[in-house]
Amino acid sequence: MTKTALITGASSGIGLALARQFAGEGWNLVLVARRQAQLEHLAKQLKDEFGVNSHCIAIDLSKENSARVLHDEVRFRNLEIDCLVNNAGRGHYGAFIDQPREISEETLYLNITTLTSLCHLFGKEFSNRGNGYILNIASVAAFIPGPGMAIYNATKSYVLSLSRALHAELADDGVTVTASCPGPTESEFFDKAGTDNLKAMEYIKLMPASQVAKEAYRALMKGQSVVVHGVLNKMMTETTRWLPRSWVAPMVKSLMR
Ligand SMILES: NC(=O)c1ccc[n+]([C@@H]2O[C@H](COP(=O)([O-])OP(=O)(O)OC[C@H]3O[C@@H](n4cnc5c(N)ncnc54)[C@H](OP(=O)(O)O)[C@@H]3O)[C@@H](O)[C@H]2O)c1
């Protein structure tokens, strides 16, 4: 039986690369994001290239109750999901107090509330059935406070913590939960985040989204709890664990100018 993966944020960047990775492994897909045209285009490409079937669902996941609406739509279409990939997410660069409150609240809803509800809705089904996969895209930002992107880093810490807890809780039910923690990656993320004037971006080498997708898929299939992508990112996350806590936020603040 061909398995089906539901991927949020499949219209660009890491989500699109994950869709290609799963399709390459023979999975059918449910592609979710706001931009319907991009999803339809990708669905056709995946059919032509890998012969897999995709359903496209256009929805804004930063809106109240969107996880329930998405779950209902999946049931309405009679689709059985074997893997949930919570990838849709966003972040905004700038001082915390200067961020419009509505934007911050939408980010919290998308990165935290919807992700949590989808884990709950699909996780329950997987648990009752005795198998299933959940891949949550966190970030290396999860390991450090982020002056300049305070809300973003905090949401990713939440995603990492939730995923590690669910990995332990759901293991006995046959459900694998993995948190993927990419560093800076080729996608639309930084354009949307407004980091154009950020000096540090000049020195950062972006990882191809396809590499993140490949490593995340492998980690999920191996049943790993957490995967940090790339040697430098692994070193960074390990190093910050051993530094005095009082040093870390000021260090990040100086890099985020
Ligand atoms: N790029 C990096 O350096 C990096 C590093 C670590 C972690 N990440 C994480 O990786 C994930 C994917 O980001 P990316 O880098 O691939 O950026 P991206 O190219 O901007 O992709 C974001 C995806 O999320 C979707 N999305 C955004 N807001 C949405 C909403 N309100 N409702 C539904 N879908 C929404 C977008 O589709 P639509 O616009 O069509 O809705 C798009 O498909 C995010 O969780 C991000 O935090 C990225």
pLDDT of residue 55: 98
Give the tokens for residue 102. 């509505």
* Paired residues of 57 in beta bridges: 32
How many domains is the chain partitioned into structurally?
Answer: 1
- pLDDT for the residue numbered 196: 80
The terminus-to-terminus CA distance of the chain in angstroms comes to 51
Pocket flag, ligand 1, residue 81 (CB < 6 Å): no
The DSSP H or E segment spanning 29 is strand 28-33
Return the CA Rg of the chain: 18
Alpha-helical regions (H) of the chain: 13-24, 36-50, 66-76, 101-108, 115-129, 150-170, 189-193, 209-222, 231-242, 245-255
Per-residue confidence (pLDDT) for residue 144, from 0 to 100: 96
pLDDT given for residue 65 in this prediction: 98
Q: Which atom of ligand 1 is nearest to the CA of 63?
A: 31
Closest-lying ligand 1 atom to the alpha carbon of residue 89: 45
Pocket test for ligand 1, best of 87, 191, 228, 237 (most atoms within 8 A of CB): 87
Ligand 1 centroid–CA 177 distance in Å is: 20
CATH number of the domain that 176 lies in? 3.40.50.720
Per-residue confidence (pLDDT) for residue 116, from 0 to 100? 99
Q: Is the CB of 153 under 6 A from ligand 1?
A: no
- Residues of the domain holding 238: 4-255
SS3 (DSSP) at 164: helix
For ligand 1, is residue 189 a contact (CB within 6 Å)?
Answer: yes
Question: Three-state SS for 91?
Answer: coil
Token pair 């936020």: residue: 249
Burial 194-211, CB ≥16 within 10 A → b, else e: ebeebeeeeeeeebebbe
- Beta carbon of 110 within 6 Å of any ligand 1 atom: yes
Report residues of the chain scoring pLDDT below 70. Answer: none
Distance CA 27, CA 158 (A): 29
Give residue 257's pLDDT: 83
Between the alpha carbon of residue 95 and those of residues 167, 194, 257, the distances in Å are 34, 12, 10
152 flagged as catalytic: yes
Q: How far is the CA of 91 from the centre of ligand 1 (A)?
A: 9
**126: Cα within 13 Å, side-chain hemisphere:** 28
Within 10 A of 186 (CB to CB), how many other CB atoms are there?
Answer: 16
